Amino acid sequence: MTRIFDFFLSFFGLVLLSPILIVLIIIGYFDTGSPIFRQERLGQGKQPFRLMKFRSMHVNTQSVATHLASSSSITPFGSFLRKSKLDELPQLFNVLMGDMSFVGPRPNLFNQIELIEERGKKGVYSIRPGITGLAQINKIDMSTPQLLAETDAKMIDHLNVWYYFKYIFLTVFGKGFGDRVRK
């Protein structure tokens, strides 16, 4: 059922937000020269997929978990994108294509071994990763792998249409944040 919501919400979201997406792409081009960031992540069943976001860090920034990245690698426009959560908008394409859902565990990198092990033990890879979820609205990020895996598993156990829309609503209206960047 959530796949139907994912498809239609992402499709209409892309249509309605296309003017904003175009403006952000143009500004991003002047900011970094490469406005769209693509990174291989683990998806459902630990299958790889290419996550899309607006680039918020300099082009040559090392590919590490955000909480391990230096704040000096974030561009001024990237800081705005992160604070406003607009950097996540290109993930609507990932949702439309079926790589992601609006609600699910945040997709992790292949080099986050401890998190992969913890999530594997808890069955977190049984569903599509998401843009938001229980961990995000509770400000739990990938710097705490065991707590994150436990929270993701709890969300999966209780996920239904009501929670699906609740997590989206809370995220859109400012609850939670993305991964922390070290100072």
Domain contains 47: yes
Domain contains 181: no
Domain contains 182: no
Q: Mean per-residue pLDDT for 94-116?
A: 96
Number of domains in the chain: 1
182, exposed or middle or buried, with CB in 10 Å at 0-12, 13-18, 19+? Answer: exposed
Helix axes 145-158, 113-122, angle to 10 degrees: 30
pTM value is: 0.88
Structure tokens belonging to residue 93: 């394409």
Domain contains 179: no
Q: Report the b/e string of 112-136 with b at 16+ CB within 10 A.
A: beebbebbeebebbebbbbbbbbbb
Q: Examine the pLDDT at 88 and tell me if it is beyond 80.
A: yes
Q: Mean per-residue pLDDT for 67-74?
A: 70
Domain contains 136: yes
Q: What is the pLDDT of residue 182?
A: 47
| Type of residue at 28 | G
Domain contains 180: no
Q: Mean per-residue pLDDT for 131-142?
A: 93
Per-residue pLDDT band for 75 (boundaries 50, 70, 90) equals: very high
CA nearest neighbour of 114 among 181, 49, 68 = 68
**Mean pLDDT taken over the chain:** 91
pLDDT, tens digit, for every residue of 27-65?
999 999 999 999 999 999 999 999 999 999 888 776 666
Q: Mean per-residue pLDDT for 146-155?
A: 97
Q: Examine the pLDDT at 140 and tell me if it is beyond 90.
A: yes
Q: Mean per-residue pLDDT for 103-118?
A: 96
What percentage of the chain exceeds 70 in pLDDT? 91
Domain contains 177: no
Domain contains 79: yes
Range of the domain at 120: 2-172
CA pair distance 167, 110, nearest whole angstrom = 26
DSSP string covering 71-99: GGGB-HHHHHHHHHTGGGTTHHHHHHHTS
